[in-house]
A and B are shown apart, each in its own frame.
Chain A
Amino acid sequence: AQKITQTQPGMFVQEKEAVTLDCTYDTSDQSYGLFWYKQPSSGEMIFLIYQGSYDEQNATEGRYSLNFQKARKSANLVISASQLGDSAMYFCAMSGRYNTDKLIFGTGTRLQVFP
């Protein structure tokens, strides 16, 4: 069975600093996708970044990058130059061929950015 683990219930970071949110996963699939979503206090789920298991380079999207270490089964999200608007819950998720197309989510990390 697939599983996502996010061990940091909460993180604090000062504005303009970088922060890493941890995510480890467990799967027996060889082909899978890893995703990060942001959920602000307003409740919507916002897609941030995607990494495929066969992608050799780490994914980047603006200030977001995914530190993918396949052997360690980790897919950490790095936010550079944090902004106050980055304060939110962040969810790591994965999908895989043998898991149909559904996303399996971690429990999330609440990030708070302070001035």
Chain B
Amino acid sequence: DSGVTQTPKHLITATGQRVTLRCSPRSGDLSVYWYQQSLDQGLQFLIQYYNGEERAKGNILERFSAQQFPDLHSELNLSSLELGDSALYFCASSVGSGAWDTQYFGPGTRLTVL
């Protein structure tokens, strides 16, 4: 158990809908990262927050947004869902924001868009 929690574990929804994925980092970790794992794209970085502030953005679609709250938990919002958004979404956390801080991953949320 990495100490990172993600809810829900599974999510099935329809095209055009909006969903929210939730992540709680390990105790003491200030950075939260979101990654998407799909069969065709592999593991892709979406976005990073550090202590409540957005720090880095990857290939995150405009339909997707995220935030990190004062208690350091984070939410990833996916809207106007398309079939291609079906993927495993991981949250990871690290102590700091350095490139050498080990990122510990949560169990993931498997999103299925029908």
Which residues of B are interface residues toward A (Cβ below 8 A)? Answer: 2, 31, 33, 35, 42-43, 45, 48, 55-56, 58, 88, 90, 92, 94, 97-108, 110
Q: B110 near A103 (CB under 8 angstroms)?
A: no
**Which A56-115 residues have C-beta < 8 A from chain B?**
91, 93, 95-97, 99-105, 107-108
Majority secondary structure, A binding face: strand
Minimum Cβ distance to chain B for residue A101 (Å): 5
Which residues of A are interface residues toward B (Cβ below 8 A)? Answer: 31-33, 35, 37, 43-47, 50, 52, 91, 93, 95-97, 99-105, 107-108
Q: Which of A44, A52, A97 has the most CB of B within 10 A?
A: A44
Majority secondary structure, B binding face: strand
Q: A101 near B31 (CB under 8 angstroms)?
A: yes
Q: A44 near B103 (CB under 8 angstroms)?
A: no
